[in-house]
Amino acid sequence: MKEFLKKAHLFCLLATIPSIGISVSLSQGFLVLSFFFGVADQLKSGNWKEILPNHPVSKIAISLFLWYGIVFLIHLVLDNSSGYTKAAWNGELKDFFLFFGLLSVGFTTKEDLPKIYKALFWLFLLLVFTGVAGGFTPVRLSRLISDLYKTSSSYRFTHPLGSISSIPLYISIGLMNTHLTFGGLLQFFSAFAVFGFLRTLIQGDKKKILFAGILLFLYCLVFLLNQARSSMIGAGVSIFFAGVHLFFIRKEFSKSFLIKGASLFLGLLFLIGLVLTFSPAGKKVIGPLFGKEKHTDSGRTFIWDSSFPLIQEHPIIGAGPGNYNKEIEKIRIEHSETYSELSYFYEVTQRGHAHNDYFHLASVFGIPAALIYLALGGILIAYLFQSKQDFQKLVFFYGLIGFFVSGLFQCYFQDDEVVILFWILLGLFVKGEILISERDNA
């Protein structure tokens, strides 16, 4: 029985990772199964003390969800409506079980880790190739999955970008439902794609150079077709921090190679950009990256403006999970009456979240939640920059830094597919640090 629990936990965890790029329901199902098989295995082995990872990064992450629980209980007492618990669970409170990703990775052994990193690589390939396919078809690829188990009441197409030499282009969303979710997943692999390619140049294996170069080219192409600027900013920050760490602190690459590597990467981006620039479709792709306004830009300001009063009214405990939409609606009505010339914009802009992770956390769970989340990012950078883990593992973790930056423009911490991968990567980092600490102590 013990061996079954261990194998079932690992199988479900490995299945969770590539299924993130296929279906959120599928990945959530495997994640929950993985967690419960893992907990059962730990309890049967008598390792109940190891259910929660003993590391500062994981402790801050756990404290965030403890604060979630405190805020929920306070609002449960203050709110007299009978349906509040259901509304809270359907809102932000259900994000709790996504945290199982960090805990489930913690149940693995040192021998399991190579399989998990291989699963991450398969997820990367899945995102790249479905991204390429999605950029050249008007049909949402997600229908290939959803049509297997439900009948669609409407038929949604992907957004067209125009064409290049009669070849139609579309905003690439892979198997996801929105380009922001797909972009959020892509940005986690920015350092892996770039510095993995640079490592092959040093190794000198022509087959590996060709393979890594093609993947990097396709990755950049998909990212440009995806059009999620918040993710691109996050990816750029990830690459910057990775470059500083790998070139100047870890010295994985010589400084002379910095110019060669940067030239190759920028040259690749210039080549892709040059091809796209000479077409109407390409101008739609490139323009917003250089300041051309998109229709969603002004919408963010109205969303943020609607969120600030929530933070002012409830600075400590927020509006409570499940209450964001209800409270935002009240504020927008007040603002529409005060600024009647802007009433149309308050009416049509999105309501589901604050389009900023920090604003959303502060609005729903109070300023302490935003500060804990910010502390999580800060301590992660500190431990990442002093980590002794291998290069092949570290390149997967720099995307976590960019995640905290891209959250300034989009609520990625509320996006289930992206958050599952976030917690799994964070769990892998913590697991690696714990194993190294145990090795050094031994």
Q: What is the pLDDT along the chain (442 residues), one digit of tens a residue?
A: 668 999 999 999 999 999 999 988 899 999 999 999 999 988 888 776 777 888 999 999 999 999 999 999 999 888 777 778 888 888 888 778 889 999 999 999 999 999 999 999 999 999 999 999 988 888 888 777 766 666 666 667 787 877 777 788 888 999 998 888 999 999 999 999 999 988 998 888 899 999 999 999 899 889 988 888 899 999 999 999 999 999 889 988 887 777 766 677 677 667 766 666 666 655 665 665 555 555 555 667 778 888 898 999 999 999 999 888 888 888 888 877 888 777 777 777 777 788 899 999 999 999 999 999 999 999 999 999 999 999 999 999 999 999 999 999 889 998 999 999 999 999 999 999 999 988 877 6
The pLDDT value given to residue 85 = 84
Rounded to two decimals, the pTM is 0.92
Distance from the first to the final alpha carbon of the chain: 31
Helix then strand count (H, E) for the chain reads 21, 2
Q: 279 in helix, strand or coil? A: coil
The pLDDT value given to residue 95 = 78
> Residue 164 gets which letter from DSSP?
E
The pLDDT value given to residue 424 = 97
CB burial string 407-420: b at 16+ within 10 A, e below: bebbbbbbbbbbbb
* Strand ranges, E, within 183-341: none
Q: How far apart are CA 261 and CA 267, in angstroms?
A: 10
The pLDDT value given to residue 290 = 55
* Residue 278: CB atoms within 10 Å: 10
Among 420, 428, 418, smallest CA distance to 397 is for: 428
Sequence letter at residue 5: L
The pLDDT value given to residue 354 = 84
Which residues lie across from 162 on neighbouring strands?
Answer: 169
Nearest 10 degrees: CA dihedral of 80, 84, 88, 94? 130
Give the count of alpha carbons within 13 A of 138, CB side only: 8
The pLDDT value given to residue 286 = 61
* Residue 59: CB atoms within 10 Å: 14
Length of the chain: 442
> Residue 264 gets which letter from DSSP?
H
> Residue 21 gets which letter from DSSP?
T
Q: How far apart are CA 181 and CA 188, in angstroms?
A: 12
